[in-house]
Amino acid sequence: MRPIISFITDFASYALKGGSKFRIWMLFLGFLTLLMFFGAYEQFTKGMIVTNYNDQVSWGLYEAQFVFLVGVAAAAVTVVFPSYIYHHQDLKKIVVLGEMLAVSAVFMVIIFIMFHMGRPDRLWHILPGIGIFNWPNSVLTWDVLVLNGYLGLNAVCGFYYLYKKYTHQEVNKLFYMPLVYISIVWAASIHTVTAFLINTMPSRPMWFHSMMPIKFISTAFAAGPSMIIIAFLVIRKNTKLEITDNAINFMSQIVTWCLGIAIFLSMSEVVTELYPSTEHSASLHYLMFGKHGLFGLVPWYWVSVLMMLGGFTILLIPKLRKEYSLFLPIACVLTFFGIWIDKGMGLVVPAFIPTPIGEFSEYTPSIYEIINSLGGWAMGLALFTLLVKGATGVLLGEVKYKGKLASAGWEPIIHSKEETYRG
């Protein structure tokens, strides 16, 4: 028990220490979090009336974050899969960082689900044994299961490995590897189930097609790795942890081809919906060109298109894609925010416009929704920063157990540089 307590305290103390850039970053995130607490208080005491949701548009900014962040969480598999299936040695050394991203992303997903509920104190209504957990009939209960399962898998895998590294012990492969393989399959399932959550609604023609799950997966595997690449570049610049060009190049290729597939699927959707231009095309037509004098989402759509095409153009040129100080970060930022718009304001909101009976009602997020969303992201990024910082300390050997383990006759195994690869 003592090594576990020591691991927790050493990990936390290392994660909380840092220079001026770290403190400024954490203070900024803390300020946004405080704003979120104010917004949450206003919403939970006054009700959903403080948001701009209405009878026609009942999903908005919160659900946009939820849908997008599930994809970011699933994208951790783009690091785990090549590490253990294809034995990519450069990624194997740092695969735990991807698992830390998955934990942080699911944490943010839970925050936005709470805001979406309006009354999170009534969550007990769906708890098994206390309320009615409508499984397997409800797709929403499947989403609850896969998200919490994925959170648990990544937390166990990530911290188990870090603990073994911390105490200089070998990983128990009979315990560890099955969890890794399950998490790989589970990653695809969480975003597939999220797609099923919306594409099983025939009253929303914009969602009601079988292409939605594969579009969700392709956009997830473009946006998530974009964030991972940015994190890798920041870590490489500010720490001694070795993140090779080969690892970054591999991730950037994943972004390139998944983004290309996502753009192709979007183009196919436009042609399929607008070429015959039936009444089922009204939502997409409104999103792209406006309708009946309403065009609030039109700028969002075209900005998203320009961002994704701009990022894809840069990524297609190897010379630019391998320019780590300028063009690659620009491409990743364009991809990340382009998909954030495409899966958020460009997917969630327009499906409600028009309503099934033909009503048009525009939606613009309220100030409370904006500050709550910024605060949710701030809390997730703060958690990700601390988890990655602590994990980096363990990987570098700067956080390690200095005591003796209780096992009789056991001697710590000191790994060589080549043996520190996971698995």
**DSSP codes, 28-93:** HHHHHHHHHHHHHHHHHHH-GGGS---SS----HHHHHHHHHHHHHHTTHHHHHHHHTS--HHHHT
CATH class of 2-402: mainly alpha
What 3-state class would DSSP assign to 294? strand
∠ at Cα 70 (316, 138), nearest 5°?
Answer: 135
> Mean pLDDT by 10-residue block, N- to C-terminus, for the chain (423 residues)?
89 93 96 96 92 91 93 92 91 92 95 88 81 81 88 95 93 93 92 90 90 92 95 93 94 96 94 86 92 90 96 95 94 96 90 90 93 96 97 93 60 41 39
pLDDT of residue 406: 55
Q: Are 399 and 164 in contact (CB under 8 A)?
A: no
Taking each helix axis from N to C end, the angle separating 298-316 and 282-289, rounded to the nearest 10 degrees, works out to 80
Please state, in angstroms and rounded to a whole number, the distance separating the CA atoms of residues 269 and 275. 10
What lies within 8 Å, CB to CB, of 177 at 6+ separation is 84, 423
CB 16 within 8 A of CB 354: no
Tokens 């974050």 appear where?
65
Which DSSP string corresponds to 262-292?
HHHHHHHHHHHHHTTT-GGGHHHHHHHH-BT
- Give the pLDDT confidence score for residue 159 in this predicted structure: 96
Rounded to whole angstroms, the Cα distance separating 319 from 192 reads 34
Rama region for 169: left / alpha / beta (φ>0; ψ in -120 to 50; rest): beta
Which residue carries 């904006």 as its tokens?
370
Residue with token string 């990624």 = 91
Q: What is the predicted pLDDT for the residue at 13? A: 95
pLDDT for position 348: 92
pLDDT digits (tens, 9 = 90+) for 54-94: 889 999 999 999 999 999 999 999 999 999 988 899 999 99
Enumerate the domain spans of the chain: 2-402
First-last CA distance in the chain: 25
Task: Express each pLDDT in 171-216 by its tens digit.
Answer: 999 999 999 999 999 998 898 999 998 888 988 999 998 889 999 9
Q: What is the residue whose two structure tokens read 């309006």?
A: 118
Six token digits for residue 311: 């990022």
Upper half-sphere CA count for residue 188 (Cβ side, 13 Å): 11
Long-range contact set of residues 89-93: C-beta below 8 Å, sequence gap at least 24: 89/421, 90/243, 90/244, 90/246, 90/247, 90/250, 91/247, 91/250, 92/421, 92/422, 92/423, 93/242, 93/395, 93/420, 93/421, 93/422
pLDDT at 128: 78
The whole-model pTM stands at 0.90
Position 421 scores a pLDDT of 37
